[in-house]
Amino acid sequence: MRVLVVGSGAREHAIVLALAQDPEVTALACAPGNAGIAAVAELHGLDVTDPSAAADLAKEWRADLVVVGPEVPLVAGMADAVRAAGIDCFGPSAAAARIEGSKSFAKDVMAAAGVRTADSEIVDNPARLDAALARFSPPYVVKDDGLAAGKGVVVSSDLEVARAHASTLLDGGHPVLIEDFLDGPEVSLFCLVDGETVVPLLPAQDFKRVGDGDSGPNTGGMGAYAPLPWAADDLAGQLVDQVVAPVAAELVRRGVPFQGLLYAGLVLTATGPAVIEFNCRFGDPETQVVLALLRTPLAQLLRATATGKLAGEAPLEWADGAAVTVVVAAEGYPGTPRVGDVITGAEAEGVLHAGTRRRDDGAVVSAGGRVLSVVGTGADLAEARAEAYRRLEGVHLAGSHHRTDIAARAAAGEVAVPSAE
């Protein structure tokens, strides 16, 4: 099987590494890729916002399967263009990708499916903003209704901070979603979805805030771990039954069946799970830990999903133990990152590349905000965490920053679902 992966982040590096270990894969390419991915796959130039260019590349390269990593090309219709070219594609249609591309669409789908989520209100006119905010209590949750790479959300007890963020989004022509705050530990659940067939992967937890102790602004994600030692053993099954399967069925009912990776971001509240958001693709950085533990060959799973045959696949197999990833970010991130700095230690085991490129002189340099994901595995979360930070000690990038507390509370047994009492 010849597999072409679209994207350039650590998520795509993790996907490419998993595909490279699958004996069914005879050729592997990535577009546009990065300096780390180049060690395991052919790299091809590609504008990921151009669906027809991706279809042309897939035909030229004679791909049997295209795996689209990021949300932007999926929302733009890349999977549709690749399928129209007669090539199997892992990724939803543009119509189904609206589950991520429009939070208001996602809320409507969840309401129809009877899936619990935070009460919310869409504001598309600045004149209605103050009245809408007055209908909510702190902490205020204000989101960009469209795609924002994980950075369009502000959660604050300060009304003026919430109002300023909403005003900035509205001034830029972006409708705003205001919603109730959900209290409890967060869970990221990835599910392979083929119409109404849903196969969950291991639940994970990521860390959105830039600083230790969940301080500072939201980011695309600063680290993650899997599995969740504090969660019920049957959590994935419960969430499929209560959340993902009803949403998948509702999308089928609407004539926009989902085919690809449906990612439910949830909070486990005292009164049960509630959805924060749905994404239409593998999440970053959770993919880095989930795929580190997957033992079922990945290519066949993705192709079965893409071709309507997921129901016939055997149960997934997982490694024992745990995995932790820590993101190394460039100076300035999540604002404007400094780029072009030399990175050393980036080719060591467990180091996945995101915002990197290789200079003409052979040096690997930073080329984005989130630069690397360092992954550690171990018999339990404490061991995996120690290994990730040990590996991180060998990585050097001037001015970079990372969180020092990824998975610390979970490893110490300090995470729990709130009691209903």
* Complete domains list, the chain, with CATH: 2-92 (3.40.50.20), 120-179 (3.30.1490.20), 183-312 (3.30.470.20), 322-411 (3.90.600.10)
Residue of higher predicted confidence among 388 and 168:
388
Token digits of residue 81: 């263009």
Q: Which residue shows structure tokens 């993902």?
A: 244
Tell me if residue 141 falls in helix, strand or coil.
strand
Q: Taking residues 374-399, what's their average pLDDT?
A: 98
Name the phi and psi angles at 304, rounded to 5: -65, -40
Cα–Cα distance between 402 and 223 in angstroms, integer?
9
pLDDT value for 145? 74
- Average pLDDT for residues 277-284, to the nearest whole number? 96
In this predicted model, which residue has the larger pLDDT, 171 or 256? 256
Q: Is the pLDDT of residue 325 over 60?
A: yes
pLDDT of residue 176: 86
Least confident range of 126-135, 214-223, 278-287, 381-390: 126-135
The model's pLDDT over 11-65, given as tens digits with 9 standing for 90+, comes to 999 999 999 999 999 999 999 999 999 999 999 999 999 999 999 999 999 999 9
**Pair of tokens at residue 41:** 């796959």
- What is the C-alpha separation between 65 and 303, in angstroms, rounded? 7
pLDDT greater than 60 at residue 149:
no
pLDDT band at 98 (very low <50, low <70, confident <90, very high): very high
Residue 174 has pLDDT above 70, yes or no: yes
pLDDT tens-digit series, residues 186-199:
999 999 999 999 99
Q: What is the mean pLDDT of residues 329-338?
A: 97
Question: What pLDDT is attached to residue 148?
Answer: 59
Instruction: Answer whether residue 151 shows pLDDT above 60.
Output: no
Q: What is the pLDDT of residue 106?
A: 93
Phi, psi at 201, each rounded to 5°? -95, -175
Return the closest-CA partner of residue 92 out of 109, 110, 80: 80
Over 90: is that where the pLDDT of 357 sits?
yes
Q: For 63-78, how does the pLDDT look when each residue is reduced to its tens digit (9 = 90+)? A: 999 999 999 999 999 9
Q: Tell me, what's the pLDDT at 394?
A: 97
Query: DSSP states of 164-181 as a string?
Result: HHHHHHHHTT--EEEE--
